[in-house]
Amino acid sequence: MKIIFDKLAQVELDDASEYYELGVPRLGSRFREEVKRGIRIIREYPDAWAKEKGDVRRYLLHKFPYKILYSIEENYIYIIAIAHCHRCPDYWIDRILEKS
């Protein structure tokens, strides 16, 4: 199934990668690899993960305090946010309202 990123989710991925890279060399790359791994798993088993709100599901990264928030659409999986688990919950809600 095709994966489509919200443009702000892509910004979040880039920002978090840069932040980790500034702290420890190659940590940003490891973060990106963990996100890619999560997206591969989501693509393979889209219904396997718990719902966060409404039809939005969450996949928790294993090595970083982040989650991938996504919805399953008719022909694609929509990545809504790459969200830190301990900061500003629900900040991404407007994104699903705008998409509708």
pTM of the model: 0.90
Q: Domain residue spans in the chain?
A: 2-99
CATH number at 2-99: 3.30.2310.20
Give tens-digit pLDDT for 14-37: 999 999 999 999 999 999 999 999
Q: Residues 6 or more apart from 76 whose CB is under 8 A from it? A: 1, 2, 3, 4
pLDDT at 93: 75
* Whole-Å CA distances, 56 to 16, 24, 50, 52, 75: 21, 32, 9, 6, 16
Question: CB–CB of 77/71 below 8 Å?
Answer: yes
Q: Average pLDDT by consecutive 10-residue portion of the chain (100 residues)?
A: 95 97 95 98 96 95 96 96 87 68
pLDDT of residue 21: 95
Residue 98: the pLDDT is 60
Look at residue 99 in the predicted model and tell me its pLDDT. Answer: 59
How far is it, in rounded angstroms, from Cα 3 to Cα 21?
25
